[in-house]
Chains A and B, each alone.
Chain A
C-alpha cells in the first residue's frame, strides 16, 4: 500500500525536481503568471514585490491577513481526511513525509541560490521560502491523493513552478514575489 501511495505521487516528484524554484522572484508579472495568480487568489488584484526586504516586510507585518492561510488550512484538513479514507495512515504518512523531506532539501537549496542572486535576504528568510515551497508541495500532494484535481493548490504550485512565490492576500489582492 505504501508503494501505491508513493506511485500516486510519482508525477509530482518529477514536477518538483524539474521546476525552476524561485527563479523569477521580483520580476515583472507575465500574462501567464497573472492568469494563474488570479485563479489562485480568486481576484484580479495581483501585485508583486521586487526585493527580499519588501517580501520580508509583507510577511512579518501583523497587518497582513491570515484569513487566506486559515482558509487553505481548512481545505487541507478536509482533503487530508479524504486521502486518509483512501490510503492506510502509515502508507499515506510515509509517502508524504518522504516527499516533503526530499523536496524540502531541494527547494531550500534553490531558495538559497535565489537569495544569493538577488541579495538582501535575511538568512532566516531562506528557511521561510523553503517552508512556503515545501508547504505548497505538501498541499498539492494531499489534494492529489484525495483525488481533488481542481483544487487551488494546483494553481499555487504552478506559481512556484513559474519561479514565483505567492506571499499572501492583502487588501490589494494577491501579492507575489
Chain B
C-alpha cells in the first residue's frame, strides 16, 4: 500500500508508470462502457418506451449516459490517451452483456434496475480514489447513476402492477441477470490488485460482487422479483 495522492492531471505525469497505466485503464474502461451502454441499450429503448413521458425520460437517461462517456473521454484526453482508445472497437473487448441487442421495454427496465446498480457500485468504489480528477468525476456522475437505477425501480413498480407485466419483467431479469456478476472482473485480477495497491479502487472484485448480489437481491425482492442462480466467480 502507498500514500500517493495525485491531485491534478499535471501531477499524474510525475506519478509512477504503474499508477499512470492503472488510472488510464480505468478511464478507458469507463469511457468505452458508458458509450456501449448508451448505444446498445439507452438509445434503442426510446423506441420501446410506451408513453411520451417514458420516451422523454429515456431520452434524458440516454443523453446522460452519453454525457458520462464525454466526461470520461475528456479526462482521458487531458491525460494524453488517444481518443480512438476510448471508443468502442478500439481493441478493448466489450462486456458480454453488450453483445445482445435490446428487444423489449421490459428488458430495458430490468437493465436499469440491475445493471445500473452494478454501475453505481463501480462508481462508488472511485469516490475515494487517490487520483482526484477521477474521484471528482465519479462524484459528479453518481447522482445521475442513482437516478438511472431509480428509473429502473419506478418502471419496475409500474410493470409489476399486472401479472402479465410482472411475468415479462421477470423473464427479462432471468435473461440478463447471469451476465451481471461478471461486470466485477475475475477473483484473482492482477489489475484489481494494482488498483488497490495504489488506493485507486478500494475493494476486491469478489467483495464488490458479493455486495452487488446482496443489493440486487434486495431491490428485486421489493418488486416481487427473483434472481436466477448463477456461478458468481468470473
Contacts and interface: CB of A to CB of B under 8 A. Distances in A.
A131 interface: yes
B100 interface: no
B52 A124 contact: no
Contact of A134 (B50, B52, B63, B151): B63
A101 B70 contact: yes
A13 interface: no
Interface stretch (A4-12, A22-30, A54-62, A152-160): A54-62
Interface string B44-68: 0001001111011111110110110
A59 B51 contact: yes
A134 B51 contact: no
Interface in A91-145: 97-98, 100-101, 104-105, 108, 124-125, 127-132, 134-135
Contact of A104 (B47, B57, B67, B69): B67
B18 interface: no
A64 B66 contact: no
A51 to B, nearest CB: 15
B147 A127 contact: yes
B154 interface: yes
Nearest to B53: A59
A104 B51 contact: no
A101 B34 CA distance: 14
A44 interface: no
Q: Is the interface of A mostly helix, strand, loop or mixed?
A: helix
Given A60-B51, A101-B67, A104-B67, A134 B57 contact: no
A66 interface: yes
B60 A134 contact: yes
Interface string B149-178: 001001000000000000000000000000
Contact of A64 (B47, B52, B64): B52
B52 A167 contact: yes
Interface in B22-62: 47, 50-53, 55-61
A64 B63 contact: no
A100 B63 CA distance: 7
Contacts of B50: 62
A169 B57 CA distance: 18
Contacts of B56: 59, 128-129, 131-132, 135
A97, A125, A127, A167 — which one has the most chain B CB atoms within 10 A of its CB?
Answer: A127
Contacts of A131: 55-61, 63
A128 B53 contact: yes
Contacts of B55: 66, 69, 131
B177 to A, nearest CB: 25
B52 A168 contact: yes
A73 interface: yes
A168 B69 CA distance: 31
A139 to B, nearest CB: 11
Nearest to A165: B56
A135 B147 CA distance: 19
6 residue pairs, one from A and one from B, having the closest CB atoms: A131-B60, A131-B59, A131-B56, A59-B53, A101-B67, A127-B60
7 contacts: A60-B51, A64-B52, A127-B147, A129-B56, A134-B59, A134-B60, A135-B56
Interface of B: 47, 50-53, 55-61, 63-64, 66-67, 69-70, 147, 151, 154
Given A62-B50, A105-B67, A128-B57, 19 more contacts: A56-B53, A61-B51, A62-B51, A69-B52, A73-B47, A98-B70, A100-B63, A101-B66, A101-B70, A104-B64, A108-B60, A124-B151, A127-B57, A131-B57, A131-B58, A131-B61, A132-B56, A134-B59, A135-B59
